[in-house]
């Protein structure tokens, strides 16, 4: 079992819709969770982090964490074509390793 | 956000050569990471460091080595490059939990 799992996609949504990206992790001791955006040919860029159960909102982005289910999600409201990218879920293990999922490719079409 | 620099950006080198990929950050971050990423694929953690004189191997079996003699510098060395080492190498630094990436080095071994 991979430590961090994501559906590779592509996830296709129309402009203006809500995009929902999901991630599960295997280590129950993990405490810190991150979402990165990576455009093709570029480095990952941090967009959200969450430490506590529940929701955390930042502009059009909402991160959701459920530690009991070992589940993290990212919602993107009012999706724009410029949001088209690969979204990487990352988890900080108790040993301080930062482990990434395979990423979900999001396509927002006009 | 961190200022983190990787050099060179692109490198084409012959099989058997020794190479060092440079990574420097100016923010005084204790934690630094090296990842390997093939195009369209996931990031694999190959080495990380908690601070000066601390280095750990990641999850990807690698023929590379790292050193951390100064806080700001975390070079990655391949003693004998092989075509299988052709990939993108990404360096990141972290003040605590969240990590920030450099622009990457795209390595091609011919």
Q: Which of B74, B66, B76 is nearest to B28 (CA)?
A: B74
Cβ burial, residue A100 (10 Å; 0-12/13-18/19+): buried
Q: Which chain A residues touch B31 with a CB distance below 8 Å?
A: 96
**pLDDT digit string (tens) for A19-70?**
999 999 999 999 999 999 999 989 999 999 999 999 999 999 999 999 999 9
Q: A65: which 2 tokens? A: 């964490």
Q: H-helix or E-strand containing B39? A: none
Mutate to test the interface with A, among B4, B29, B101 (most CBs of A within 10 A): B101
**pLDDT digit string (tens) for B66-110?**
999 999 999 999 999 999 999 999 999 999 888 999 999 999 999
pLDDT score of B29 more than 60: yes
Mean pLDDT, residues A60-86: 97
Contact flag A100-B42 (C-beta cutoff 8 Å): yes
Instruction: Provide the pLDDT for residue B1.
Output: 53
Mean pLDDT, residues B33-45: 92
Contact flag A97-B48 (C-beta cutoff 8 Å): yes
């Amino acid at each position: 079992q991979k430590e961090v799992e994501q559906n590779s996609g592509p996830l296709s949504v129309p402009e203006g819709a809500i995009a929902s990206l999901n991630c599960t992790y295997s280590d129950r001791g993990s405490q810190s969770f991150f979402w990165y955006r990576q455009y093709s040919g570029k480095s990952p860029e941090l967009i959200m982090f969450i430490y506590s159960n529940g929701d955390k909102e930042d502009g059009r982005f909402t991160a959701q964490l459920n530690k009991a289910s070992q589940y993290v999600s990212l919602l993107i409201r009012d999706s724009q074509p410029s949001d088209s990218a690969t979204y990487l879920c990352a988890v900080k293990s108790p040993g301080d390793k930062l482990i990434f999922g395979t990423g979900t490719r999001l396509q927002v079409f006009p | 956000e961190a200022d983190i620099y990787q050099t060179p950006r692109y490198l084409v080198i012959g099989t058997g050569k020794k190479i060092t990929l440079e990574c420097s950050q100016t923010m005084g971050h204790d934690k630094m990471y090296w990842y390997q990423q093939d195009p369209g694929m996931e990031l694999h953690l190959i080495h990380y460091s908690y601070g000066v004189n601390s280095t750990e191997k990641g999850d990807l079996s690698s023929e590379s080595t790292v050193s951390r003699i100064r806080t700001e510098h975390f070079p990655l060395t391949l003693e004998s490059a092989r075509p299988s080492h052709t990939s993108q190498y990404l360096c990141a630094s972290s003040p605590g939990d969240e990590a920030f990436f450099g622009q990457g080095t795209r390595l091609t071994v011919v």
